Structure formats: structure tokens, C-alpha cells
Amino acid sequence: MVLDLGQGEFQLRPAAPGQGLAVRAIYDSEVHALGYAFSVEPDSQWTASVTFHQTMPALQAVFRKLLGGHTDASIEIFLPPEIPIELVVGIEQGGGEAELGGLWLSTADFNFRQGGFALSVDEPLREPLARLRLHGRMGGVQAVWLGNASPRVLEVDCAMGGAEVNLKGAWRNDCDARFTVRMGGMDVRVPADLRILGEGEWAEGLQRDDAETPQPALRLTVEQSMGEVEIRR
């Protein structure tokens, strides 16, 4: 599943049980264009894509708004919860919200640029994620309850913006995580019962291995340049 979205407000959430992929959009066709494509490979693998972008030149859109015209747009995308999905989302010059709780995802990659993005996983996924990637440029991101996604690989990479990451939730496996920030700040909250493995000044006082029963481990790598990653329990 590929979502290529720009210049609007976007919401991604699970569809009702038994419902398939659905898209609801409010926009002016003179300003924006909505596209949809679906294909099936010989091995029965399928690919669905949704595109939504502003087609009116930026300067013309500014004048239209100054004269009382509407250029705003919003789109809701509902993902079916009963089928496995590899999710790729790109958002540019817009705001996005994604609620993934209860979905059946194998991987999820989010790229956002010049806008804000909020991600929540309010209940465990059907299966742990193989990979969750958040890649932002010139924007901010808030990602909460990521433990309910239980990604085996977690990458959060932000530049010229900030990030708030909360790893609370029902972890079901170990995780290899990398947090990278350039020209910005990142605040990472780790549950008290999640073991942290790694080296660096950031690890002082965070590593624990005193649980009565083995707990999932977070193997953590931190990279920072002209910014700071702060990790707290």
C-alpha cells in the first residue's frame, strides 16, 4: 500500500471489520487532484496506491485564498484490518495523523517533509511489525504507544525538526532501534520494564536487568548532530 500525499490534512485509520480500503476526501478539483491505482501480480501480491496533491500553482493558490476562495483539503484513508499490508506513506507540506491500532501490518514506513505528523498505536497490532520507520525533514513528529506495534526494527530519523517518541505498550519481542537527529531535538520515553542495551553517555542510569522474568530488550543506537536525543524512563 503506497500513499503519496501533499498539501492538505490527512488521516489514516483502520476500517470497520469486514470493510475494505476506503478513501474520503473533501477538496476542490480546481486546486487538488486525487488518484487511485490497483494492480495484482501473477503471484497474487497486490499493490494499491493513493495520490493526492495540489495541482494549482502555489502563487495562484495564494491569490485565490486572498480573494476569498478555498484551497484547503482533507482526506481520510481507511485500511482493512483483516489482510497483511506493507505500508509506505509520504506526506509533504501538510499535516498527517495515523492510528494503526488493530491493523495487520508487516512493515510501515512514513516519510514527512515540511509538516507535522502524529502516529498512535492504541492497541496491539495483529502481528508485530518487522520494521517501523519514521523519517522527517523540516517538521515535527509525535509517535506514541509504539510498544503495541512491537517493531523488530525501529528507525526514527529527524532533521530540522523535533520528535516526541513514547515506547509504551505491550511489547512482544526484542527491538533494534536507531534514533537519529540533526538540527533538532528528540525526546524518547521508554517503559520501566523494557531492558535497554547499548553504549554511550545516554545509557548511564537507564540499563536495567533486574526483572523477575525476562523482558523484551531494546538494543539502542543514538546518533545526534547539532541536536540532542534525550532518552528517559
pLDDT tens-digit map of 191-206:
988 888 877 666 565 6
Question: Mean pLDDT lowest for which of 96-105, 154-163, 213-222?
Answer: 213-222
Q: Give the cell for residue 30.
A: 480546481
User: In which residue are the cell numbers 499493490 written?
Assistant: 47
Angle, CA 153 vertex, CA 149 and CA 159 arms, to 5°: 100
Q: Where are the domains of the chain?
A: 2-232
Angle, CA 103 vertex, CA 98 and CA 108 arms, to 5°: 60
**Of 202, 233, 197, which Cα lies nearest the Cα of 215?**
197
Q: Are 163 and 144 in contact (CB under 8 A)?
A: no
Q: Are 33 and 5 in contact (CB under 8 A)?
A: no
pLDDT tens digits, 84-122: 999 999 998 888 999 999 999 999 999 998 888 999 999
Please name the CATH architecture into which domain 2-232 falls: 3 Solenoid (2.160)
For 120-126, what is the mean pLDDT?
A: 96
Query: Which residue type sits at 93?
Result: Q
Q: Enumerate residues 6+ apart whose C-beta is below 8 A from 128.
A: 149, 150, 151, 152, 172, 173
Which pLDDT value is given to residue 232? 87
Q: Is the pTM of this model over 0.85?
A: yes
